[in-house]
Amino acid sequence: MTEAHAHFDEAEGALVARGAWHADAAAALPDLSGKRVRVIDGAGVTHLDTNGAWLLLAAAQPKADAPAPDLRDFQPRHLSMLRLVAQHRAATPPLPAPRQEGVLALTGRGALTVWSHLVGLLDFVGRLALELAGLVGQPGLWRWRELAAQVRDVFVGAIPIVSGMMFLLGVVFAYLLGDQARQFGANIFVVDGLLLAVLREISPVIVAVLVAGRTGAAITAQLGTMKVAEEIDAIATLGLSPLAVLVIPRVLALIVAMPLLVFIGDIAGLVGGMLVVQQQLAISPPIFLDRLYDVILLKTLMVGLGKAPVFALFIALISCRMGLAVSRDARSVGVNTTSTVVQSLVAVIILNAVFAVAFVRLGI
């Protein structure tokens, strides 16, 4: 089979093709930029399939509104092939040009997305409140086993990662703070700073971030997979409420487990800091604990623990809503799971900022 070859005849405006034309013959086409092809000469074409016909026609007529070239000296079967491809090629609409969006358009699109998430979350909260109101006074309808199973998964499974992360953060924070305090001879005040930072800010926020990435994403993926598999429809067909069966146990489990995880994170962070100041500042564990008892205030502990249920509530609402909002395809599960983590992290940061301003204003 003769190798494909083509050249452009300037005098006639003809694309002269030779040899066998198929999908691999694209490299044989000459550069026709700025040139108008009036004729395709196929006298030397020995083999032609639909791919080769499309290559020749696309090279001679790159735009749909350009004049169609004349087909000259092709074999009858090749000529029929070219006309068939040209007919279907003309019927295929050209791809639209990529749309360039400006800063205002992107900002508007982002604002609409945020607004849709807020409206969807408010609608979900309203439906969930109605469901809870219907369950009040009817303990037999509560899914106690599901609640216990969710608390176990959320709390017990997260203890190792929460303890390890907070221990390391306590080590890092105590090391950095101790390095600065040692320059001014204020070694003992490292305990004060470590206590305030870990209990009020670091532990609640870091635990919330870990729970959002671990449990929140898992909840969205679980509910989304159940929706794709039509298990949620099956629950509704049985006369049960998906909100009562699937959502409420997960929301309550997160609200119960989060303060416990924050308390464990507090202990792990203080233990990590205590080990560092012992080595770096020669503050022994008994001295560390004595200073801890002297400066610790109940409100410092309660501020961190009080943030935890609020963080947990928002993470649970976002993850459950996004799980139930999954469309019936696998791609939507991944998209909504990613959106859950992003929304939860943004919610935690905003809520923590609101708490910080409110506590300062209230003198707490």
Categorize the per-residue pLDDT at 257 as very low, low, confident or very high, splitting at 50, 70 and 90. Answer: very high
- Determine the pLDDT at residue 96: 65
pLDDT at 1 over 60: no
Read off the pLDDT of residues 181-214 as tens digits, 9 standing for 90 and up: 777 777 777 888 888 888 888 899 999 999 998 8
Distance set, CA 173 to CA 177, 180, 266, 290, 349 (Å): 6, 11, 13, 20, 20
CA distance 128 to 217: 20
In a 13 Å sphere around the CA of 85, the CA atoms on its Cβ side amount to 20
Categorize the per-residue pLDDT at 129 as very low, low, confident or very high, splitting at 50, 70 and 90. Answer: confident
Mean pLDDT for the chain?
Answer: 83
Distance set, CA 31 to CA 28, 65, 311 (Å): 10, 20, 62
pLDDT at 358 over 70: yes
Span 28-55, mean pLDDT? 81
Q: Where are the domains of the chain?
A: 5-91, 110-133+140-362
CA distance 334 to 233: 20
**CA 21 and chain centroid, separation:** 46
CA distance 254 to 231: 23
* Lowest mean pLDDT, pick from 24-28, 161-165, 318-322: 24-28
* Lowest mean pLDDT, pick from 196-200, 219-223, 239-243, 339-343: 239-243
Q: Which residues, including other chains, have CB under 8 Å from residue 194's CB and lie 6 or more apart?
A: 170, 173, 174, 177, 269, 270, 273, 277
- Determine the pLDDT at residue 311: 94
- Determine the pLDDT at residue 165: 92
pLDDT at 242 over 60: yes
pLDDT at 2 over 80: no
Question: What dihedral angle (degrees, nearest 10) is formed by the CA atoms of 106, 107, 112, 117?
Answer: 100
pLDDT at 276 over 80: yes
Categorize the per-residue pLDDT at 93 as very low, low, confident or very high, splitting at 50, 70 and 90. Answer: low
Categorize the per-residue pLDDT at 180 as very low, low, confident or very high, splitting at 50, 70 and 90. Answer: confident
**263 near 159, Cβ under 8 Å?**
no
Categorize the per-residue pLDDT at 91 as very low, low, confident or very high, splitting at 50, 70 and 90. Answer: low
Q: Which residues, including other chains, have CB under 8 Å from residue 71's CB and lie 6 or more apart?
A: 39, 40, 42, 79, 82, 83
As given in the structure block, the two tokens for residue 152 are 């176990």
Tell me the one-letter amino acid at 133.
Answer: A
